[in-house]
Structure 1
């Protein structure tokens, strides 16, 4: 049985409780982060902590916890749950108050929850060798996708639609252009140039995205941050996604059409290799 963290206490998971009046439960009024663990160390914790603070600031949420303390909580959960490879999920909500569309008083204590998920061999996913298949769906989410909120019903629906079509995931499309995957950022490679959606309110500002693009530029790879169409994606030489849990993952087909050779390409393989090597060095 896992040990989890709830509002200052480390508890067996079957003893963890959150109020039915919690605004995360009633209004999806909460934000979250997922930090990967490799070899017992946290991958890009600082990036996730910074984005968590940004999400809270955008929603005018009270600061939940000191970031140094948050790091120690993460480390303690890794230790007590004996996590070698896996994930740590962190959720912060505006707290518990009687149901009202208006925010509760500013001194309402936020709800802070963390738990671990063991994922043995996280960096050695077979899909990195075979590639993943995606389908496209309309992007029907709210307009502030840059805030990492717990409003994940539509992405969940998208993953179910992909599964029903025999694919692994879905890329969401708005006005003909790809925004992002259901839980990842989306990329194509054409004539040696990596193309991915520019930052804005339309997509999540991925922590893995930021690191991967920095590593790509350091390796003298060309990067073009702009919107790209489904038609461009279908004509690409390679395609891939990035996320905290999948790192850099090749995409080999979109809507049933083969991308490039239909196998993971050299650019994606090199980016995955660089990312894992560099992030392991910087892990805390």
Structure 2
């Protein structure tokens, strides 16, 4: 992974990332009492801004933290950070914690403390044409996460361990299974193509609502039938195609699961059509003004 870009935003100030400091008593550090968002930027233009910040607002409501900014204020903060880091292609990571109190108490601070707001930018991951042409390997893992995966919490230890399990197996992603159903990846949404139909699991407390997932479904409706329903592990293994999606990587083809090939063992025709649709969508974005009124 490339190093993060030099400028960040912390609690109202733009500072060098190397100089940014927070208190060790911050509840994000002590408890993982915080939420986050990641959104891609193409040619200096934010992708699906409102969808990402609607999701941030929902996560904050669910953990009972007051949103420190309006959508308009968030947009201004990110636009300035993008400019300060040179524009172009990147992704922005932002985190809001409940804040810092003098001590360590499980219950919320009384009175409430000021949330900590941190935003940084990084280059988008680079995937070669050879990688995309070959597709990506995945493994399946049993779910041992907490019960509110719909909140985009920074408490990601289970996901970290799952991702490392995939890396140890020489795979790109770990697909999470609970009670025989495939839910999502450790850092991605999951889809299968079966008999010409694109299928993805429904949103629930066990799944993070995916903004790129929703964009994929919107684009796919022009390509093939779409179903939102549960996916069994057997269906995953028998699928014609398997895809994963994430904000920083669009939609990627999975060509093997647990060392067994998916379909032909190569990226399938449906994924190729979706890839072209995403490319057109990015080009449309590039042709719009950097800052909309």
TM-score, length-scaled by structure 1: 0.95
CA-CA distance at 1:159 after TM superposition? 1.2
Aligned to 2:104: 99
CA-CA distance at 1:208 after TM superposition? 0.5
Q: Is structure 2 residue 46 aligned with structure 1 residue 42?
A: yes
Aligned to 2:193: 189
Q: Is structure 2 residue 236 aligned with structure 1 residue 237?
A: no
Q: 1:54–1:272: structure 2 CA closer, same or farther, 3 Å change rule? A: same
Is this contact kept in 2: 1:198–1:225, CA < 8 A?
yes
Aligned to 2:117: 112
Is this contact kept in 2: 1:193–1:224, CA < 8 A?
yes
Aligned to 1:158: 162
Q: Number of residues paired by the alignment? A: 282
Tell me how far apart the structure 2 counterparts of residues 117 and 125 of structure 1 sit (CA, whole Å): 21
1:19-61 deviation digits (Å, cap 9, x = unpaired): 1111100110100000101122111111111000000011111
Q: 1:120–1:228: structure 2 CA closer, same or farther, 3 Å change rule? A: closer
1:216-260 deviation digits (Å, cap 9, x = unpaired): 12x052111111112111111001011101111000000000001
CA-CA distance at 1:119 after TM superposition? 2.8
1:68-97 deviation digits (Å, cap 9, x = unpaired): 111111111111111422211000010111
Question: Residues 236-275 of structure 1 correspond to what in structure 2 (within 5 A)?
Answer: 236-275=239-278
Question: Residues 58-207 of structure 1 correspond to what in structure 2 (within 5 A)?
Answer: 58-97=62-101, 98-105=103-110, 107-119=112-124, 126-207=130-211
Gaps of 5+ in 1: none
SS of structure 1 residue aligned to 2:54? helix
Tell me how far apart the structure 2 counterparts of residues 59 and 65 of structure 1 sit (CA, whole Å): 16
Is this contact kept in 1: 2:138–2:166, CA < 8 A?
yes
Gaps of 5+ in 2: none
Q: Is structure 2 residue 280 aligned with structure 1 residue 277?
A: yes
SS of structure 2 residue aligned to 1:180? strand
Is this contact kept in 2: 1:38–1:280, CA < 8 A?
no
CA-CA distance at 1:275 after TM superposition? 2.4
Tell me how far apart the structure 2 counterparts of residues 276 and 114 of structure 1 sit (CA, whole Å): 27
Tell me how far apart the structure 1 counterparts of residues 106 and 88 of structure 2 sit (CA, whole Å): 42
Moved more, 172-181 or 70-79: 70-79
SS of structure 2 residue aligned to 1:17? coil
Aligned to 1:10: 14
Tell me how far apart the structure 2 counterparts of residues 89 and 258 of structure 1 sit (CA, whole Å): 34
Tell me how far apart the structure 1 counterparts of residues 122 and 249 of structure 2 sit (CA, whole Å): 14
Q: 1:30–1:262: structure 2 CA closer, same or farther, 3 Å change rule? A: same
Tell me how far apart the structure 2 counterparts of residues 104 and 11 of structure 1 sit (CA, whole Å): 28
Question: Residues 16-55 of structure 1 correspond to what in structure 2 (within 5 A)?
Answer: 16-55=20-59
Q: 1:279–1:59: structure 2 CA closer, same or farther, 3 Å change rule? A: farther
Give the CA RMSD over aligned residues. Answer: 1.6
Aligned to 2:229: 226
